[in-house]
Structure 1
Amino acid sequence: MTFSRAQVSAGAGSVVDYGLMVLARQLLGWPLFWAVALGGVVGAGINFSLNRYWTFTAGSGTHDYSNAFLLQLTKFVLTVVGSILLKYLGTYLLERHLGIDYKIGKLISDLFVSVLFNYPMQRYWVFRKTPS
Structure 2
Amino acid sequence: MTFKLKEFLKAQLSAFVGGLFDFGIYSFCYKVLMISAPLSNVVSGSLGAVVNFTINRYWSFNNTAVPLASQLWKFAIVVMGSIVLKSTGIHFLVDVWHCHFLLSKGIVEIIVSLGFNFTLQKFWVFKQ
TM over 0.5: yes
CA distance in 1, matches of 2:40, 2:121: 24
Of 37, 43, 58, the residue aligned with 2:42 is 37
Q: Which residue of 2 aligns with 1:77?
A: 76
Task: Give identity over the alignment, percent.
Answer: 33
Q: Check whether the contact 1:14–1:43 (CA below 8 A) recurs between aligned residues.
A: yes
TM-score, normalization: structure 1? 0.88
Q: Check whether the contact 2:78–2:120 (CA below 8 A) recurs between aligned residues.
A: yes
The CA deviation string for residues 78-130 of structure 1, in whole angstroms up to 9 with x for no partner, is 1001111111111111223433112110000000000000000100000000x
Structure 1 residue 71, shift from structure 2 partner: 1.6
Give the direction of change, closer, same or farther, for the CA distance of 1:33–1:96 in structure 2 (3 Å limit): closer
CA distance in 1, matches of 2:33, 2:95: 21
Q: Which runs of 5+ in 2 are unaligned?
A: 1-5
Q: How many residue pairs are counted as aligned between the two chains?
A: 123
Q: Which runs of 5+ in 1 are unaligned?
A: none
CA distance in 1, matches of 2:17, 2:118: 14
Q: Which residue of 1 aligns with 2:3?
A: none
Structure 1 segment 2-13 matched on structure 2, within 5 A? 2-13=7-18
Q: Check whether the contact 2:93–2:104 (CA below 8 A) recurs between aligned residues.
A: yes
Match of 2:61, SS state, is helix
Q: Which residue of 1 aligns with 2:26?
A: 21
Q: Which residue of 2 aligns with 1:101?
A: 100
Q: Check whether the contact 1:95–1:102 (CA below 8 A) recurs between aligned residues.
A: yes
The CA deviation string for residues 8-29 of structure 1, in whole angstroms up to 9 with x for no partner, is 0000000010110110110011
Is residue 2:39 matched to residue 1:56? no
Structure 1 residue 64, shift from structure 2 partner: 4.2
Structure 1 residue 34, shift from structure 2 partner: 2.0
Letter in 2 for 1:87: K
Match of 1:95, SS state, is helix
Deviating above 3 A after TM superposition, structure 1's stretches of 4 or more consecutive aligned residues are: 62-65
Letter in 1 for 2:14: S
TM-score, normalization: structure 2? 0.90
